[in-house]
Structure 1
């Protein structure tokens, strides 16, 4: 009887250990690639959108009149890409600041090689207030210093873009 209870206890401990063990989760990384002219991510951006894409300056003036604009194409230079997964990027504005781009439904990611490239974004744009917590999250993704992250203490009104597709152009 004692042996049975010892074996039962050992079996229970073994089962418990297996139940609570966690598999190592592999962290996703951005896709690889050189982001050369003609490459696209997400849905392919139409030729009409490439030819008729508006500048970032024009987008900002459009968003002065309306809060959100769907089905819009914007041309700009990529200034930063999420180093963790390639799940967001920033586009340079004409005044030297930048606006934030996320991928619709996280359906696609972009390589870090996209930084410095000219692209056409197809999707929707809106002017929105981003919370301090969200700004700090993106700063961590961008591998900003602790001092830079700690300095974020106010929400920010900014242009945000939700991309269906991104195409590298010249």
Structure 2
């Protein structure tokens, strides 16, 4: 009888021991981070604490001529000055933001239209004269008819960038 009890106890240890060995802990799901390399223009900036285009549009709505706000946001490039890259327009919903570069200290590549970039600097609104609008239209490669059609000053979204990040395209 004692042998049977010892056999049952030993068997229960084996069964319980095997059961413990077979329990597997599921590995914790790790958040995968994708590193993006950037070309930096102007001051060195990071891709942290970047506002979305929608958040930036809300900030622009609150600005009056003469107001400025220092921000960093991401948006898609609509077009770039084709003479030397000295300005660019960013898509901002129904409008676009005209970006110039602090002290003309740096310029953009002319072929970045359609890319999402990050800009850092001062946002403001301005009343752009007909003359300035025509100048920028000419630099942007607009036709004579499009340039001639500009006849009124326009409230524009403006931005003076001190730093820009452009994602590097893998080749």
TM-score by length of 1: 0.71
Partner of 1:51: 48
Partner of 2:12: none
Q: State the Cα distance separating 1:64 from its structure 2 match.
A: 2.7
SS across alignment from 2:72 = strand
SS across alignment from 2:55 = helix
Contact 1:77/1:118, CA 8 A, preserved across alignment: yes
Find 2:124's aligned residue among 120, 126, 137.
126
> Which structure: greater helix fraction?
1
Unaligned 5+ segments in structure 1 are 1-35
SS across alignment from 2:157 = strand
Name the CA shift for 1:37/1:93 in 2 (closer, same or farther; >3 Å). farther
Q: Does 1:93 align with 2:92?
A: yes
CA RMSD of aligned residues (A): 1.8
Q: State the Cα distance separating 1:118 from its structure 2 match.
A: 0.9
Deviates further, 82-91 or 51-60:
51-60
Query: Highest CA radius of gyration, 1 or 2?
Result: 2
Rounded to whole Å, the distance in 2 between the matches of 1:72 and 1:169 is 19
Partner of 2:133: 135
Question: Structure 1 runs of 4+ off > 4 angstroms?
Answer: none
Rounded to whole Å, the distance in 2 between the matches of 1:76 and 1:63 is 14
Contact 1:63/1:69, CA 8 A, preserved across alignment: no
Deviates further, 126-135 or 67-76:
67-76
Partner of 2:145: 147
Q: State the Cα distance separating 1:69 from its structure 2 match.
A: 3.2
After superposition, the C-alpha distances for 1:33-91 in whole angstroms (9 at most, x for unaligned) are xxx95101111222xxx232112322222133343333210100111000001000010
SS across alignment from 1:147 = helix
Rounded to whole Å, the distance in 2 between the matches of 1:162 and 1:78 is 15
